[in-house]
Amino acid sequence: MDNPSAIIDAAVAVFGYLDLAIRLFGLLALVAIVLGAFAGVTQALWRFGLALFGKKILVVAGENDYRDICEDLTDSGLIKNKNIQRVSSKHVDKAHDALLLIVVYGYLEPDDFESVVRAKNSRCGLIVHCPPEKGRITEQEMNLLSRTPFTALCNFRGRMVNDVLLMMLSTSFKRKDLG
């Protein structure tokens, strides 16, 4: 304790190094948080972008309902007309390999409707559009839908557009599915 200024200088130097270490740790923590958040968001955005770019939407509906649905989806500005295809009641077998399927309730016979729901791919999103003018869905069909993964039931066209976008994000989609 001969020279108090030397002790003070040493203490200031130690606190300076400690301050630098804390600032560097804080900076590294901030970088890690930003990169972690970016990686999580980027993966979701990448997957959503791929889905918007290439996921085919099959619509099982009559001609008028198909035109309305197609127009609603393309008016959103996110889905291209070339990615939307109609499947008639005579060709419902095409729906079994779909990755995103919209079925207008009441268009198919009850047995055909049940067949489409049961035979859908486990990776396929299914949206059953049941507008009020088509009648109410039966309890048996409702039970079937509630046991089926990646299924949504909607009554309004605007809600259906939201369900399509959410289904594109939530159902699995791989690059090999493009085309």
- Residue 66 is which amino acid? Y
Question: For the segment 26-75, what is each residue's pLDDT rounded down to a tens digit?
Answer: 999 999 888 887 777 777 777 777 766 777 899 999 999 999 999 999 99
Question: For the segment 72-126, what is each residue's pLDDT rounded down to a tens digit?
Answer: 999 988 888 888 999 888 888 888 778 899 999 999 999 999 999 998 888 889 9
Task: Quickly state the pLDDT bin for 11 (edges 50, 70, 90).
Answer: confident
Q: Give 169's strand partners.
A: none
Nearest of 69, 126, 137 to residue 92 by alpha carbon: 126
Q: How much is the pLDDT for 122?
A: 82
Q: What is the residue extent of each domain of the chain?
A: 1-54, 56-177
Task: Quickly state the pLDDT bin for 176 (edges 50, 70, 90).
Answer: low
The answer regarding whether domain 56-177 maps to CATH 3.40.50.2300 reads: yes
Please, are residues 165 and 75 in contact by the beta-carbon 8 Å criterion? Answer: no
